[in-house]
Amino acid sequence: MSEDGFHVHGPHDHEMEHAAEGHGNSFTNRIAMFTAVIATVGAIFGYMAGATQANASLYKNNAAIKKTEASNQWNFYQAKSGKQNLSELAMELAPAKRDFYEKEIARYKSEKGDIKANAEKLEAESAHWDEESDHEMHEHHRWAQATTLLQVAIAMAAIALLTRKRWLQMAMYGTASAGVAVGVLAFLHI
């Protein structure tokens, strides 16, 4: 302001006042709004990545439990086979008790059939849980890839704000779009 009360604004003074009030800088406002939206979407994607990873671990644990149960059944099957073999040997060594040992052999064969069916069922359940775990891990990787792309887009937004480069702003939009696309693939289980 001059000494006699007359004040002349320079061309940049008006822009500086608007910038200080938060008005008029659409480049900054667009990037700030975009960053907030992408950060929110990224948080959701990050949650989904963690959830699918936890599910994959639970499913793998279920597979291991079923595999252990199947192994126990196969051990039981082997024990019955051993008893059957001993009964067959005893039948040859003690012909007087042949009827008894034939019944024992028939019983062991019958029991082994049930045990084998149960062991095979448990192995199938284990394989099912393994497949579910693999599917969840695939989804986890998709969610993690989407989250990473969105984090890169947020970093690009910060650099674009500092450098005010339009090409970097476009690269930021492209990276974020790729991140959202990968997130959609994860949502669709692809």
> Under 8 Å CB-to-CB from 100, ≥6 apart: which residues?
none
**Are 66 and 133 in contact, with CB atoms under 8 Å apart?**
no
For the cut 80, the answer to whether the pLDDT of residue 24 exceeds it is no
Amino acid at position 11, single letter: P
> The dihedral of CA 59, 150, 175, 37: what is its sign?
positive
Mean pLDDT, the chain, integer:
89
Question: Which percentage of the chain shows pLDDT scores above 90?
Answer: 76
pLDDT band at 27; cut points 50, 70, 90: confident
